[in-house]
């Protein structure tokens, strides 16, 4: 099978990036990471990408006079690298409508809740404060709405009575590290169609 070319966009820790890296190394995903972009100099995820020998770009948004100009340079880097899929892995920048339309159904994101519950920042704390008994994580295609695109895969996590935002986040993160590689594997290797909001994969068997 042809390897799909991935760009990873991150801003911080990069644990999802590393889970994806591990899955590719273990040949569980028919893909290769051809570019890692960070909007933050010194982000731990970026440092790790450099150590691992990946092609990296730091495109610091603070050096730009507008969102559009920053995004333009990110798009140029992605286009130059010849990327099939863009993987948002803790990338803390909103993408404009132009960006998401250009790469429709080719940008993936992971969010630490069962969407459409608790979009936006601090999803784990929102879940705890709302008192839900089950939360989890969602991998979805990115559209112009915040955390709003068609859902590829979800994994649930039970909330415990003694959970704090930290303990709940840690258990959700374990599931993220399973969900994200699995979702990318499916998108790379199983034919699918998007009908309205539904992502329908052909039977794998
Ligand atoms: C994860 O919780 C992810 O769901 C959210 O940002 C966090 C990124 O963590 N979008 P990491 O940088 O992958 O460790």
* In-domain check, residue 59: yes
Q: Is the CB of 111 under 6 A from ligand 1?
A: yes
Q: Confirm whether 89 is domain-assigned.
A: yes
pLDDT at 1 over 90: no
As for how many domains the chain has, the answer is: 1
Residue 169 structural domain: 4-194
- Judge whether 88 lies within some domain: yes
Q: How far is the CA of 13 from the centre of ligand 1 (A)?
A: 7
pTM of the model: 0.97
Whether cis (ω within 30° of 0) applies to the bond prior to 57 is no
**Residue 112 pLDDT > 70:** yes
- Is 111 part of the annotated catalytic residue set? yes
Q: Considering the domain boundaries, does residue 15 fall inside one?
A: yes
* Residue 202 placed within a domain: no
CATH number of residue 39's parent domain: 3.40.50.170
141-145 contact pairs (CB < 8 A, 24+): 141/105, 141/107, 141/108, 141/109, 141/194, 141/199, 142/88, 142/95, 142/100, 142/107, 142/108, 142/109, 143/100, 143/104, 144/96, 144/97, 144/100, 144/101
> Can you tell me which atom of ligand 1 is nearest the CA of 11?
12
The whole-number pLDDT of residue 203 equals 82
| Residue 138 burial (CB count, 10 A) | 26
For ligand 1, mutation pick of 39, 173, 174 (most atoms within 8 Å of CB)? 173
């Amino acid at each position: 099978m042809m390897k799909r070319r991935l760009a990873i966009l991150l801003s911080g820790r990069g644990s999802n990036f590393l889970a994806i890296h591990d899955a590719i190394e273990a040949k569980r995903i028919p893909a290769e990471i051809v570019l890692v972009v960070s909007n933050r100099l010194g982000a731990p995820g970026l440092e790790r990408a450099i150590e691992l020998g990946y092609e990296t770009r730091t495109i610091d948004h603070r050096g730009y006079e507008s969102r559009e100009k920053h995004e333009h340079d990110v798009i140029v880097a992605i286009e130059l690298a010849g990327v099939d899929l863009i993987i948002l892995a803790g990338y803390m920048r909103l993408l404009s409508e132009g960006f998401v339309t250009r790469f429709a159904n080719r940008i993936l994101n992971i969010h630490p809740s069962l969407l459409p519950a608790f979009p936006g920042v601090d999803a784990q704390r929102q879940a705890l404060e709302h008192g839900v008994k089950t939360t989890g994580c969602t991998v979805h295609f990115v559209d112009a709405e915040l955390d709003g695109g068609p859902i590829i895969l979800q994994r649930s996590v039970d909330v415990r009575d003694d959970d704090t935002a930290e303990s709940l986040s840690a258990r959700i993160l374990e599931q993220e590290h399973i969900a994200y590689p699995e979702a990318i594997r499916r998108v790379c290797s199983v034919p699918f169609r998007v009908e309205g909001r539904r992502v329908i994969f052909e039977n794998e068997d």
